[in-house]
Structures are given as structure tokens and as C-alpha cells.
Amino acid sequence: MEYFLYILIAYLLGSIPSGLIVGKIGYNTDIREHGSGNLGGTNTFRVLGVKAGLIVTIADILKGTMAASLPFFMGAEEVYPLVIGIFAVIGHMYPVFAGFKGGKAVATSGGVILGVNPIIFLVLILSFFIILYLSKYVSLSSMVSGIIGIIATLVVGDYGLTIIISLFTIFVIYRHRTNIKRIINKTEPKITWM
């Protein structure tokens, strides 16, 4: 019963549609009707600009961190935080508050990892920006940094985290399948600010 409660709270946290809220309240814009139609930070950057994109990305990261931190704050040491974090990511991808059409799982997955292992989170962030600098593709950077995260957890011997990051990476790659096709066809948009 305790696990179910944490899972429910984590899913509801993940379901908070940061991009939709920021777009409608701050810009009178439904970002689902613009750009890629996605609720995540990347589309928010493209549609609403840097300030809105940063707010949404940070909010989406914090959703994952808060969910993974629930057992710690509630004194439930027997509840595995990474398992709870998975449901925040599912909520972000399929939010009950936004018609089950959400983001691509990148920021919230990172937030879960931040909540349990800040060093691995830093590895992910650094690899993301290095790949972004080299490729100019946000989608490719997201997918490859997940793979680097898997390797990093194997190196340090945190096999529980390896399993969870592997799952998150599968989520991210699945959610980016149309981006993969565009990268292959050389029609995927590149960033211009780096």
C-alpha cells in the first residue's frame, strides 16, 4: 500500500505539464499547437524563447528529483527511490493533466538521477552539452548522453542505477523515434546558438 501511494504521488508530480502551464499563463500560448507540439523544454525553447525554455526544463527536472526524494523525506527507507522515479517519468510522458500527451522524458529522467546520484547527473549534463556542441542536435545529444550514463554506472558498479538509466534511455530513444528518422534524412532542426 505504501509503494502504491508513492507511485501515485510520483505519477501525479510527473503529470504536471510545465510547458503547458508556462505557455498559457506567461505567454497565452498552447505550445502543443506550435513547433513539434511537444510539451517538453526543447519545444518551449523553440516556441517561447530562452526564459520560458529554462523555466520548463528546470521544472521538469525538479519533478523527477522530487519524486525520487519522496521516500527520503517521508522516512521510508525501505522504498527504493529509483523505482518511484520511474513513475514520474511515465507521468511526464503520459500526463493525466494534459490528455496523456507529454514530453520526451529527458529532463524528468535526469531529475530522478539527480535525486539519487548527482555525480552521474553531472556526467549526463556534461556529455549532453559536449555532444550538442559537436552535433547541434538536441535529440541526438539526449539519446547518446543516456548511453554514456549507462556506461558510467557500469564503471562505478552501481548496477541498480544502470538498470534504471537503461530503462530511461529506452524511453528517450522510443520517444525520439521520429527525430531519428529526421536525423537520418538530414531534416532534423539544428540549434543555432552554440
Contact 67, 112 (CB under 8 A): yes
Alpha-carbon dihedral 81, 84, 88, 91, rounded to 10 degrees: 170
How far from 26 is each of 5, 36, 62, 159, 166, CA to CA, in Å? 32, 19, 19, 42, 35
Quick check: is 34 in a domain? yes
Q: What is the radius of gyration, based on Cα positions, of the chain? A: 16
Quick check: is 107 in a domain? yes
pLDDT by residue for the chain (194 residues), tens only, comes to 678 999 999 999 999 999 999 999 999 999 999 988 889 999 999 999 999 999 999 999 999 999 999 998 888 888 899 999 999 999 999 999 999 999 999 999 999 999 999 999 999 999 999 999 999 999 999 999 999 999 999 999 999 999 999 999 999 999 999 999 999 999 999 998 87
Domains held by the chain: number: 1
Quick check: is 44 in a domain? yes
Quick check: is 139 in a domain? yes
Q: What is the pLDDT of residue 104?
A: 93
Quick check: is 124 in a domain? yes
Quick check: is 97 in a domain? yes
- Cβ neighbours, 10 Å, residue 93: 23
Q: What totals of helices (H) and strands (E) does the chain contain, helices first?
A: 10, 0
pTM of the model: 0.94
Contact 22, 98 (CB under 8 A): no
Q: Which domain holds residue 171?
A: 2-185
Q: What is the pLDDT of residue 1?
A: 61
Quick check: is 169 in a domain? yes
